Amino acid sequence: MNQVEEESLYHSLEEEAIDVDCLLVEPRSDQVSVSSVWCFEEDNIGKCIKTEDASYNLGVPDSNINVEGVDTTKLNALDVLPHEVGVENLLTSNGISPCDDYLIDIGYVDHGACIDYVSNEPLHVGNSSSESPFPMFRNKGNFGIQNSLTDSIPESECQNYFLGNIFGTDSKTVDKFEDFSKSFIDEEDDEGNLPLQFAQTGMELTPFRQDLITNSAQEHGVGGITHKRSRKPTKRYIDESSNLTLKNCKKRKEPSSMSKVKMSTVRRVKSQNEVKPKENIQSSEISFGKAIQVPFISQCPTECQKISLPTTTENQIESFSSGSGDDSETQMMRSMTGKWTHIKKLLFSTSVHRTPVDLKDKWRNLLKASRALKGSRIEDEQKRSQPWRPLPKSILCRVRELASTYPYPREANNSKISKSKFPIVPHVSFSEGIKGNKVPVV
DNA sequence: GTTAGGG
DNA sequence: CCCTAAC
């Protein structure tokens, strides 16, 4: 139907005073009342009850929550609306235009659907001075849309629209859908599937429709038409992702400038073919990280976690700590200034994510735990007092033993241990203990 | 730059 | 794990 037909129809109806239910609305209002429109719509519900039933049965909720339904209705309304006739032209011009029924239906429904989603924005209908909140739209916008569609499209076709667009089964409907989409697709947009095209199309149309689509997308989340153009991950993200595999999937701040130096140092140590320490250290790394990936070696079996330090590392530590050799003095002096750094270098070289400070903290925590155990003596009591899983008693005992042997600075008054043995703390390597606790292994 | 220690 | 003071 075109505008002329509608106009003539309207006049004929008016002259003959035939219209009954459909014109409960006062047609001669200067302001087009939306509630009137809704009265009209309500009275016409019967006309398209079949369509409504169809849509409702198809799961289109009352509040247009169904994304596909929303877009479908909008699509249909847009499709029905003659493009050459602007809504403003149809609805304004001092009152209701000759084709009120049709135009209110289409135009207002079109806008009403938008209002339903752009709740904060008053409806401006062309030159009309009406600016009403249209409260009823929020509740019954769906009716309007569907009625308009029903009135505008043959019933069967209307059903096909709903059915096809909701389920995507009707090829005819899909064709129409595609045609509609193509008619609005930005030429630059050559990607995306149908829903995406439609979304892009909607954004090309008007602010109303943009809001409609975006709002519907926000409301409905992931499903339906909310396929947004997938964003390529940034290079930084990719780098970080790849690093995560190396850093045991642990988000962690890049540990300061020192750690950068350590990283290079670590790499240098790695290049020295310290395979065995690596293995042992890897086992320790398995213990500390959560879901740690071990990139260089195969996972050590559980037995492997309790092996003592490999000979290479042991020799290094011995030479480092015992004072044998000419360089022992220098090393010892260095150890005095950078104990944890050296421990890290020697024994946790492959634990890229762990800084010397971390090692220090870990050891401190172990000492704390061991002291706590010493105080309570009863493991059950410890379990009760601690929110976390307690370390196995054997482990804590071992920590105490080591702590007495290699006292932590300022925490142990035990001065019988010479400072030259500090670096031997690395005799403890942390391994995964029972129940996933981190366990120092000697 | 490194450690100790508090938070 | 982060921060800061101290060295």
Is the CB of A368 within 7 Å of strand C?
no
Asked if A367 contacts A399 with a C-beta cutoff of 8 angstroms, the reply is yes
Strand B proximal residues, A:404-433, Cβ < 7 Å: 408-411
Which residues, at least 6 apart from A310, have a Cβ–Cβ distance to it below 8 Å? A276, A277, A279, A280
**Gap from A337 CA to C7 C1', in Å?**
10
Asked if A114 contacts A108 with a C-beta cutoff of 8 angstroms, the reply is no
Specify the pLDDT at position A284: 37
| 3 state DSSP class of A430 | strand
Asked if A163 contacts A169 with a C-beta cutoff of 8 angstroms, the reply is yes
* Residue A207: pLDDT band with limits 50, 70, 90: very low
Is the CB of A361 within 7 Å of strand C?
yes
This model's pTM is above 0.95 = no
A319-325, long-range: CB < 8 A, 24+ apart: A320/A346, A320/A423, A321/A420, A321/A421, A321/A422, A321/A423, A321/A424, A322/A420, A322/A421, A323/A420
* Residue closest to A351 by CA, chosen among A430, A272, A406, A421: A430
Question: Which of the nucleotides lies closest to A252 (Cα–C1')?
Answer: C1
Does A197 or A21 have the greater pLDDT score? A21
Specify the pLDDT at position A8: 52
**Exposure of A407 by Cβ count < 10 A (0-12 exposed, 13-18 middle, 19+ buried)?**
buried
For residue A215, pLDDT over 50 is answered with no
Q: Which two structure tokens, joined as six digits, stand for A233?
A: 């991950």
Q: List pLDDT tens digits, range A94-111.
A: 333 333 333 333 333 333
Specify the pLDDT at position A353: 84
For residue A349, pLDDT over 60 is answered with yes
* Residue A2: pLDDT band with limits 50, 70, 90: low
Please tell me the distance from the alpha carbon of residue A138 to that of residue A4, in angstroms, as a whole number: 32
Asked if A287 contacts A388 with a C-beta cutoff of 8 angstroms, the reply is no
Average pLDDT, stretch A417-442?
39
- Other Cβ atoms closer than 10 A to A387: 6
**Gap from A325 CA to C2 C1', in Å?**
39
Question: For residues A344, A350, A351 and A353, what is the CA-based torsion angle, rounded to 10 degrees?
Answer: 110
| Average pLDDT of chain A to the nearest whole number | 44
| 3 state DSSP class of A225 | coil
- Other Cβ atoms closer than 10 A to A230: 9
Specify the pLDDT at position A385: 52
Beta pairing class for A438-441 and A429-432: antiparallel
Please tell me the distance from the alpha carbon of residue A144 to that of residue A147, in angstroms, as a whole number: 5
Q: List pLDDT tens digits, range A123-140.
A: 333 333 333 333 333 333
Does A214 or A363 have the greater pLDDT score? A363
Strand B proximal residues, A:224-263, Cβ < 7 Å: 257-258, 261-262
Is the CB of A304 within 7 Å of strand C?
no
Specify the pLDDT at position A387: 52
Strand C proximal residues, A:233-272, Cβ < 7 Å: 250, 252-253, 255
For residue A407, pLDDT over 60 is answered with yes
In chain A, what percentage of residues exceed pLDDT 90? 0
